[in-house]
Structure formats: structure tokens, C-alpha cells
Amino acid sequence: MTDPLEKEKTKLKKLVRELGSIKGRHTELVTVYVPAGYNLNEMINTLRNEQSTAINIKSKAVRKNVTAALDKIIQYLGNYRKTPPNGLAVFCGNVAEKEGQTDIKLWALEPPEPLRARLYWCFQQFDLRPLEEMVAEREIYGIILIDRSEADVALLKGKKIESLFHADSLVPGKSRAGGQSSARFARVREGLKHDWFKQVTEAANKIFSDHPEILGIMISGPGPTKEEFLKEELLHAEVKKKILGTVDTSYTGDHGLSETVERGQDLIRESAVVKEKNLLQRFFMEVQKPGGLAVYGLDETVNAVNRGIVEEVLASEKVEFVEIEYECHERKKIYAKRGERPQACNECNRAPVVIGEKELEDALMDASIQFGTKITIVSADTREGQQFLAFGGIGGFLRYRA
């Protein structure tokens, strides 16, 4: 089964992306955070006071929209007797696309982790920082990619590589300029190399000290430079003890960082990116086999789940499918992209009435519980994740071929 907390975080990621894409025309998007354990009536009184203050807003349209948003939030909070265990996050405002129109919408959630922030904020966009911290990847590794000519210091956050430092060196090659003695050239070169290592070390010490949550650090690069870098003993003790080992690469830069993750799998065997890559590679192998134990595509996967022959469902975090229950001459369910609606019924020629809509994962949950099927959400940030999305973003491993 899917970890309930991970399921909630996946939903939260989608909501954060949706809310982050909304930009108000004026300062009329309202964010309210009620922290865990906070008196809900005090927050309602705070919002009523803000409503009274809103009459001083010069623009009549903005004043009207802010007041309407606050009123809608106050009404929503009034449905609760007390603050939920993890607090509440509420977002409301005018999201109309055209100037002069009004479309006040409200989003609200009880977060998967205790909310610490107490906030009322009115601006052109929603304040999502507390929620973004909740969905931030917790499995983080460090990378120092270095050779004689350039270096990167990066973080591997879950499945994403984020380069935080890049520099080019002034260390010359082994061929000396004319007129210089070998000994003098070697001294100059060694001095420049030491300065280069010191520059990279200072950046690495700063970045990794700012991220104490890092689980381990890989030192990578082509040739022997990475080993020479380690021998300099310049890294802080707290940083040095997290070094997992070295990784040989053919490249530096972005290609070298990706290569570090690929070739350093033994060092970070348990990291999310490696586990997910291996899982999806196994899926593609099964798809290619004649009679392989894999299924993909929306209808094929849903049907197999409902028959109890799926061991594990794989769904991309970017999948947009929902289950729509509707009624014409009888009740039916279809699976469609979010926003799509069933067409007129061929049998009764009436427009169907939509009764309800569920996220695909929620719709599959009952069958998953009944048959012991695991549901795994995969990212679209890796090459394999993008390839899986091209397969439709939904598939799974079969227990057997029926």
C-alpha cells in the first residue's frame, strides 16, 4: 500500500504547483495559516479586524475583492469547532483572468505535518513557503565534481540535481611556457592548483555546512584530480566525515553531474533517485519482454487493478487522470483527464449528470486495499520518469498474465 503520508505529500505538491501558478492582478490574494494548537476563534477575530481595515483600500474593485475573500475564509473557518491537529492553510482571492471581472475561489487543506506558522498575508500571489518546506525532498546528497579546469558543487535532492557553485580554474596544463625552468613551472603550477582546491573547498564547506541534513557526499571527476583534492585535507571535519567515496566520470559540468549519479549508485544505493531509476528500468524491461509482467495505459491498468492481478501500480506525479462518476439512464464511471466531461449518452441521448470526481490514486485505493496492491508515485524529473510519462504516466507490475 502507499504510505499515507507520502500520498498526502504528493497531493500537496500538486496543490503547491497549482497555487504557485496563480498571479493576481492586484494585491488581492489572501493567505491564512492557522498553526497547530492555535485558538481558531482568535484567527477569525483577526480576519474580521482585517476586514474592517480593508475599507481603507483606495481601489473600489480591490477593496471589494479583498473583503469578499476574507468573508469567504471566515465562513470556511466557521465550519470548524477547533483547529485540526496539524493546523489549517487557506488560500482565497480573485482569480478572474480579465480585468474588471470577479471570480473568488478558495483552497483549503489540513497539512500532512504540523503547521508552525501563523500568518495573514494579502499580496499578488499566495505565500507558499511553509507548504514548500513540507514537500521539500528529505533525502539529500552532496556532490563535488572537480578536475584541473573546472568544478561544480551540487546537491542531489531526491531526484533533482541542483548545482550551487561552478568555477573555472587558472591551473595550466603540464606543458610549460617557453623560457621557464621545469622546477619553477612545477612550483607555480602546484601553487595555482592549491589555490584552486582551496577555492572549491571554501564553496563546498559553506554549502554543505548550510545543509546539515545531507546524508553523504560524493567526490567525482575525470582523472586523478579528485584524489589529489582529497589529499589536501582542506574540507571541514563535519563535511569530511560525510564523504562516501569517489566516482570516476568522463565529463565535468552538467553531464558530469548526471554521470556522477549514474556511476555512484553503489555509494547511494538507497537514495530515491537510484531506487526510482531501477524500478522504472525494470518496468521497461518487462514491457519489452514477450509476455512480460507489466501493463501500461489508463484503461489497461485500471482493468488489471480491478481484477486483482497487479502487484504494484506506478503513477507519474504529473498524471492528470481522474475518475468521474456520472448518471444518465444508469450510473457509470469513466477515467479521463482532469477537466474533461463525459459526452452525451448514446443510449438515452441525454447530457450526463456528474455525481462526483476522484483523483485516480483515490479511485484505485479500494481495489488496492482489497487485493494488497501497492501504489507508487514516480517523478518526471529523471530521463526514465519522462519516458514513463510518454507511456501515459500510468502502469504497473503484474502478478501473472491472465
Residue ranges per structural domain of the chain = 4-135, 140-269, 275-398
Distance separating alpha carbons of residues 60 and 57, to the nearest angstrom: 7
Task: Kindly state which CATH superfamily the domain 275-398 is placed in.
Answer: Ribosomal protein L30/S12 (3.30.1330.30)
pLDDT tens, residue by residue, 73-97: 999 999 999 999 999 999 999 998 8
In sequence order, what are the beta bridge partners of 216?
141
State the average pLDDT over residues 243-248. Answer: 94
Give the three-state DSSP class for 351.
Answer: coil
Average pLDDT of the residues of the chain: 87
Q: What is the 3-state secondary structure (H, E, C) of 105-142?
A: EEEEECCCCCCCCCEEEEECCCCCHHHHHHHCCCCEEE
pLDDT tens, residue by residue, 1-44: 445 666 677 778 888 988 998 998 889 999 999 999 999 999 99
Q: Is the pTM of this model over 0.75?
A: no
* Topology, domain 4-135: 3.30.960
pLDDT tens, residue by residue, 139-185: 899 999 999 999 999 999 877 899 999 999 887 776 555 556 777 77
| The domains spanning 4-135 and 140-269 adopt the same CATH topology | no
Q: Indicate the class that CATH gives domain 140-269.
A: alpha beta
